[in-house]
Amino acid sequence: MKILVAEPLAKQGLEILRAPGHEVDEKIGLTPEELAAIIGDYDALLVRSQVKVTADILAHANRMVVIGRAGVGVDNVDLDAATKAGIVVVNAPTGNTVSAAEQTITLMLALAHKTAAADASMRRGEWKRSSFTGVELRGRTLGIIGLGKIGQAVADRARGLEMNVIGFDPFVTAEQAALHGVTLAEVDKIIETADVITVHVPLNKATRGIINADNIGKLKPGVMLVNVARGGVYDEAVVAQALKDGKIAGAAIDVYETEPPAADNPLLSAPNTVLTPHLGALTAEAQLRVAEEACEQVVDVLAGRSARYAVNAPLLTPETARAIAPYLPLTEILGRIAAQYLRTGVKTLTVDVGGDLAGCDASQLTAAALRGILADATSERVNLINAGFLAKSRGLTVNERKTSDAGSFASLVTLTVQGDSGSATVAGTIANGEPRLVRINDNWLDMTPAPLMLVTHHQDKPGTMGRIGLILGEADVNISSMTLARMAPRGEALMLLAVDDEVPDAAAAAIKAHPNVLDVWMIRAVAQS
């Protein structure tokens, strides 16, 4: 496949991309127009933080399967547009943890000891020791907003400086925080009581302007602010004015709302600042780790494997991924069969996961079922990433249920679809490593789904099956296998014929015209080419 690398990456990452035989093009410094013009030729894209992957650019990415971001945040990738297009977006959230944490501590110490200002004074030929009296960090309170990997690493290092650490993160328990010496607190308390505040959160609606005009006055006198996360988490203009007014003691900023910052950015002229050009992940070790982490995942996705850190797909443990992997193609086939058996548009899908499989995250199974249902209902590319988005945009209601009861099966996936004129239920399992179709409505059976299947609902009377076989023979349609499901002798029955050839409309009509045949379906269990 073809991979476009749009920003500089460590050579070890490029070697990972090339190892499976992929064609890798390094094209650095492309304008948005140039990127849009060529992106349609590529299956994968690698970026860092400067290239903006917008919805307009993704509209041209007809082949794109995966975008790799060699770093933590994905602010520069339009996730909604990527998800709608069925493109997996992966990042490298662990590669720069140590570097970002060390940069945070570096900036804290530089602020506390006025290192940058003292250095600048020395270079001007001055010796003004008393002008640079600092403060110790020992015994002071550090407030950390965001206790992910980087926030926790900062806490570990701050404890080494004998600081008291409080933190906020809605997804971290008190017990987990305590492992890193952190006492949980609400954001308001951190703002009001911390001597130093550092943020380690993505930029979104909830985190934009955590420090803003409404709460700048609530900060503790003498507070120092640090940002090695994302520009915009602090309101730059508000912080700059507070520095000029002496309301806060200092600010150390590594990231900016616009990078590089404009000449009129108020932080550039504000006093008591330490400003660095987005150095949080810029160490030799971090650049190597994030490149390897992002590139390994791109290769995995291109090979059809799950990514460890997909930001727009369910994050599965390796154990769960192994458990559900065989059931993904089965569930997609079940979705295709259910939709075609129902005939009318699907309005509601219910996914029942039974047995051993019920202990796993079933979100990808639901996505696989939706892919099967939607595959022939839309001209858009449908995959596990965008299936849920496309279903929601079409008003399709999705329900997911789990039960320990799978009947006589170790695990069972059952799909029930409902439309305007009825419903249909199909079920399947994996037996000896092979997918098996075991139920259609109330009829239990055992069949390996075939790419092409003729299904008849008929009265189980002598000569009916023979007549159907004769009609197919006269149409030069070869039958490779047959499965019969019936509730009672000479009652209603389903017959599934795996056929090697398309059944002509005239032959299907002749079968349906037989007095014992109640209905006929042509089921395509795999995508049409």
Burial of 364 (0-12, 13-18, 19+ CB in 10 A): buried
Model pLDDT, residue 380: 60
pLDDT at position 392 is 79
Active-site hit among 48, 230, 289, 308: 230
pLDDT in tens, 91-132: 988 888 999 999 999 999 999 999 999 999 999 999 999 999
Does 527 score more than 70 pLDDT? Answer: no
What is the CB-side half-sphere exposure of residue 297 using CA atoms within 13 A? 27
Query: Token match 């060529």: residue?
Result: 38
Question: Do 97-275 and 2-94+285-313 fall under one CATH topology?
Answer: yes
Q: Which residues pair with 53 in a beta bridge?
A: 77
Mean pLDDT (the chain, rounded): 91
Spans of all domains in the chain: 2-94+285-313, 97-275, 317-448, 450-529
Is 381 a catalytic site residue? no
On the 0-12 / 13-18 / 19+ scale of CB atoms within 10 A, 237 is: middle
Token look-up 């022939």 returns 376
278 is annotated as an active-site residue: yes
Which residues are paired to 67 by β-bridges?
Answer: 45, 89
C-alpha torsion sign, points 76, 65, 296, 308: positive
- Model confidence pLDDT, tens digit, residues 179-220: 999 999 999 999 999 999 999 988 888 889 999 999 999 999
Is 494 a residue whose pLDDT tops 90? Answer: yes
Angle between helical axes of 115-123 and 97-112 (0-180°, round to 10): 70
The alpha carbon of residue 394 and the mean position of all alpha carbons in its chain are separated, in whole angstroms, by: 21
| pLDDT cut 90: percent of the chain above it | 74
Q: Residue 426's pLDDT is what? A: 97
Assess contact for 168 and 207: CB atoms under 8 A: no
Catalytic one among 26, 126, 136, 259?
259
The string of DSSP codes covering 348-400 is: EEEEEEEEGGGGS--HHHHHHHHHHHHTTT-SS---TTTHHHHHHHTT-EEEE
H or E element in which residue 104 lies: helix 97-112
Q: Are 185 and 146 in contact (CB under 8 A)?
A: no
Q: Has 113 been annotated as catalytic?
A: no
**pLDDT above 80 (res 171):** no
2-94+285-313: CATH, from 3.40.190.10, 3.40.50.12170, 3.40.50.720, 3.90.580.10: 3.40.50.720
Q: How many CB atoms lie within 10 A of CB 161?
A: 17
- The pLDDT assigned to 40 comes to 95
- Which listed CATH number (3.40.718.10, 3.40.190.10, 3.40.50.300, 3.40.50.720) goes with 97-275? 3.40.50.720
At 233 the pLDDT is 94
What digits encode the pLDDT tens for the residues 344-353? 888 899 999 9
Q: What is the pLDDT of residues 4-25, one digit of tens each?
A: 999 999 999 999 999 999 999 9
| 3-state secondary structure string across 19-56 | CCCCEEEECCCCCHHHHHHHHHHCCEEEECCCCCECHH
CA dihedral of residues 28, 33, 36, 39 (deg, nearest 10): -30
Give residue 529's pLDDT band: very low, low, confident or very high (50, 70, 90): very low
Over residues 265-274, the mean pLDDT reads 96
Strand partners, 484: 495
DSSP sequence for 119-167: HHHHHTT---GGGG-----TTPEEEEE--SHHHHHHHHHHHHTT-EEEE
Q: Looking at domain 450-529, which of 3.30.70.260, 3.40.50.620, 1.20.810.10, 3.40.309.10 is its CATH number?
A: 3.30.70.260
- Among candidate residues 278, 381, 486, 524, the one labeled active-site is 278
Assign 3-state DSSP to the chain and report helix, strand, coil percentages, each to 5. Answer: 35, 25, 40
Angle at 179 between CA 174 and CA 180, to 5 degrees: 100
- pLDDT score of 224 more than 70: yes
Tens digit of each residue's pLDDT (9 = 90 or more) over 304-361: 787 878 888 765 666 777 888 899 999 999 999 999 999 888 889 999 999 999 988 8
Count CB neighbours of 138 within 10 A.
9
Higher-scoring residue by pLDDT: 526, 445: 445
- The model's confidence at residue 381, banded by pLDDT at 50, 70 and 90, is low
- Whether the predicted pLDDT of 478 surpasses 80: yes
DSSP structure class, residue 180: T
For 317-448, CATH gives 3.30.1330.90
Match 């797909």 to its residue by tokens. Answer: 313
Residue 49's pLDDT is 85
Residue 321: what pLDDT?
74
